[in-house]
Each structure stands twice: as structure tokens, then as C-alpha cells.
Amino acid sequence: MPSMNKRSRRTKPKQTKRKANHDTSVYHSMDWRKHSKQYRLDNPKCVGCGGQSRCVDHIIPVRIGGSFWDIRNHQALCNGCHAKKSSDESRDIYITSVKNIDQELIPHRGSSWKCN
């Protein structure tokens, strides 16, 4: 009987995919893609650094109750500033908010996140 080498007998640890607390499928919808593209055409500069915007960010994260479609909760960011903002969010740094007519959170007086 041929012997198996040690490497082939080892089992790899099962990697689990991080699961979001909210439904992310809407980010892949045609409606969101069209909206995102148009928003970036209307707002070509990153609000954090002034570079070219690459994504539309929710100022108040949807997972904590921020409005998904209300444009007052949107801002254009470059990839670097979006990564920095996402890192800040993991430390619970949020902007003050109010509720819109649908009882969803939007930024107070149109404030936006700024890259430091």
C-alpha cells in the first residue's frame, strides 16, 4: 500500500465567510448600480481627500439603521477613504443622526465623514 505523505493527510481548517448583519444583495441590484453610477457622476470628488470618487458610501451605516436610498445619507468616497471610514466604524465612531419620514437614520444637517 502506498504511503501518504503527511501534508496530504492534514485537513485544512474550514474557513467561514464573515456574514453581514444586513442584506447585502441590494448592493448587487441593477437599481443600486445605476444609482451609484449616477451619484458618482454628479459627485466626482471624494469628500475625504478630494480625489476621484470610486464608491457611494452610506454615512450612517445601513446595518445600524441608516437609510439605504435617502441621498442625504450618501457620500462619494475613494477606495482608500472608504476603507478608513469602514475601519473607524468598527470602533463605533458614528456621526450624529436624525430620522427621516420613514424612521431611518440620516446624518444631522448633511454632515459627512472626513478623512484625517
Given this model, what pLDDT does residue 113 score?
Answer: 61
Query: What residues contact residue 72 under an 8 Å CB cut-off, 6+ apart?
Result: 100, 106, 107, 110
- Quick check: 73 and 61 in contact, CB under 8 A? no
Confidence of residue 47 (pLDDT cuts 50, 70, 90): very high
Confidence of residue 8 (pLDDT cuts 50, 70, 90): low
3-state secondary structure of 64: helix
More confident residue, 74 or 106: 74
More confident residue, 97 or 2: 97
Q: Is the pTM of this model over 0.75?
A: no
